[in-house]
Every structure is written in structure tokens, then in C-alpha cells.
Amino acid sequence: MLDYLEETEGLQYICKLIYEAYQIPVCWLDSAGNLQLALPPSMEERPAAPTHAGMLAEIAEFVFGLENNLPRNTGGTSFLPYLHTTGFLENFIMLKLPAELGTGGTIILGPSLAASMTENTVASLMNDHNLPLGHVEEWLQYYRGLPVLSRTRWYHAALLLYSLVNGQALSVTELLLASTHHEPVQHTESRSDLDHSYRRENTWLHHEPMLEREMFRHIVIGDKAGLLRSQASFSEESFGRLSKKSQLRSKKNLAISSITLATRAAIDGGLFWEIAYTLSDFHIQHIEELKDIPAVDKAQLAALCDFADHVRDNRRSKLSRTSALCQNYIFNHMYEELTLNKLAEVAGLNASYLSQLFKKENGISVSDYIQRERIEEAKRLIELPGVTLSDIATRLHFNDQSYFTKVFKKYTGVTPRQFRHDR
């Protein structure tokens, strides 16, 4: 260990270095939990804790509560960094200082975010914590003041902090293992054995893996009829119970699990990964809103059929890899400027050649295809509450409202306003 770390100035230097390198708040608490250093001197405080000491007190209580269980390195000579995410999605890194430093205490990095927060995400968090939605804007402003560090940079900050304090290297694997030392879920062997015995006695066994593989194979090949036949072969008793307290929650969990598997199967079947994931998001969000078991059962089956249909339609198009790549890029970047030259760059082809190839395979020019897909996206946006027609036109890169109306009518036969009125 480096000699200068035995002095307070050494710890202050490390804190300042981490702060300047990652632009993330850094605090040093002594062994009694008193604040010795904070960078910046005053941090953005979450609305639920109006005083500066609020969040620090919460984190200090958490880390000192873990004190006897904090992981050490293989030799047991130094503590390892501990990664912590709060219920409000704030990320922290905590490192207890070695006792031989004399100064002791803990260095805390954070709060930071893994990704920028949207208004919808903040609103859902407020709902999860039973907080009034009238404070969404206040919370949104708070989150906008926090630095955003990707998972990788978050891990690297922890590794750097450890190396500076201890003068030793640490791997990402060691870091992650150190932060997953919570107590495992406990279950009594007698209860587990009783459940197994009861299910065998009544022949209520889980479904055979082969049945599951066969069902999702039909999604891979886009065979909805085969999917329905396979799904009908599952008995109600063959499904596991994924919630002890709620049959509805259990059904929802099962449905989400099957949609996750269907997403992978659809991608294996050649469906654009972004389309597959978007379908998954849509169906899972829909299922979460349902209030009764029959509705969940119907929604689950509809979701599986939707994946099979999309794979079937994708296979029928018989597009070359180049056309498929361009279509996928257009789908993913609908809200950006899209040009033939950009698509040619993505495909690695001459723009003129790409234009000819795309029109030959799709029966429509690149520009017309982009227009058509933007109108399809506009139709989906029009059905959403609170989204104005002028906002849709701007977001989808139409020059003005009148041009948007003209193009919309070209592909739908009605104006955007008429389309909304008919919904």
C-alpha cells in the first residue's frame, strides 16, 4: 500500500481524482459516519429528502449496517467495493477504508444513473413508491441533475477507486461477486419435498421440456397453426406456480416468461431483433394492465400468435440480407434524418446500386418506403392521447403540417384529423 495513503491528503487526492475523472459526486465519511469531504460541496438532493444530510444519512446507515458482512479480497487484507442501487434507481459505489490507514471510514461515489430518465419512467417510479404524481416534474429535474454512467463506466470507477486506495488490481468478476453476497432465498427441505410428493401423487407434473421446445419451434418457422396445436396440449396443472400469494400474479409471470422465450424464438426465425423486442415490450406492458386471469390467458396466446405471424410475414418477403438490413435500420431510426446515402453507408454499398436493388426487391423506392413507414408510425402515434398532429409531423421529419397531411392522405385515403376522429 502506498505510504501517502496514510495521510488525509492522500484520501482527499483520491476523491478529487475520481470526481474529476468521472464527474460523479464523491464523499468521504469517517468511522463515526461524519462527513469529512464532499465533491461537489453541495449535491442535488432528491425531493423526498430536502436536507443535504438526507441521502448521505440513508447511504451511511446502509453501508455501516453491512459493516460486518462487507466482502474482502482473497487474502482478507482489504475490503472490496460494494455496488448499491436504491429503489429510486440511484447508483452508489461504497468502499470501506482499511483500518491500517488510521483515518478509517468509507468513500462513497454517487449518486449516478445508468441511463437518462424519461417522464414516463419517473411517473412509474412515483407510482411504485406511492408518491403523488404531481411531483413528477420536481423529480424529473432532480434526475436531470445526476450524472449518467453506463454500467461499464460504473464498474470501472469502482475498480479505479479500489486500486488507488489499496494499490492492488481487481477484476470485474471479483467486483460483481462481492456485490452479490446477499442471503439466498430460504426454503425448507421438508416443504419442498412435500410439494414434490403431492404433485407426483396427483400426477401434476411440470410439462416436459420437449413440449416447450416443440411449441416455440413453431414460432421459429412462423407456423401459427402448429403453435396453437402445441399450446393446446399443455394442461393447466403442468404450469408452475410463480407466485405464492396471487394466482393472477402467477399467471402474469408465466405469460411474461413465455413471451420472453417467444421473443428469442422469433429472432432465431429471422425477425428483426428490434421488432421482436418492441413486440415483447408491447405485449408484456399490456398483460401487466390486465385485471383477471382469463384476460391474461387470452393475451398470452395472442402474443405468441403475433410472434408467429411476424416471422411468417418476414419469411414470405424473401428479402436479401441487404434489404432486410436497410428495413431494420429504417425501423430503428424512424425519428432521425434518413437518407439513401446513410443507408448505403450502413449496407456498405454504392448508393445508386442500393437504390436499384431495394426497388427491385421491395417494389418501391427507398424514399417512398421511408415515407410509408413514417405514416405507419404516425398512425400509431395518432391513437395515443395527448400527442398533437403538429408534434407528430415534427418528430417524423415532415417539412410542415400541410405536407404531412398530403403524404398521410396519399397512403391512407384520409387526413390525419379524419383518421383520429374515426378511431
Phi, psi of 387 (to 5 degrees): -105, 120
Least confident of 227-241, 378-392, 408-422: 227-241
**What percent of the chain stands above pLDDT 90?**
30
- For residue 399, is pLDDT > 70? yes
Burial class (CB in 10 A: 0-12, 13-18, 19+), 404: buried
Give the model's pLDDT for residue 323: 82
Three cell numbers, residue 186 = 430460504
| Spatial separation of the C-alpha atoms in residues 299 and 220, rounded to whole Å | 20
**How many C-beta atoms surround the C-beta of residue 357 within 10 A?**
18
What average pLDDT does this structure show over 335-350? 90
Residues 6+ apart with CB under 8 A from 299: 255, 283, 286, 287, 290
Query: Do 59 and 91 meet the contact criterion of CB atoms below 8 Å apart?
Result: no
| Spatial separation of the C-alpha atoms in residues 328 and 275, rounded to whole Å | 8
What average pLDDT does this structure show over 169-176? 84
Statement: the pTM of the whole predicted model exceeds 0.85 = no
Helix, strand or coil, per DSSP, at residue 365: coil
- How far CA 159 is from CA of 18, 108, 167, 181, 340, in Å, comes to 11, 13, 11, 18, 44
Residue 302, CA atoms < 13 Å, CB-side half-sphere: 11
The average confidence (pLDDT) of the chain is 81
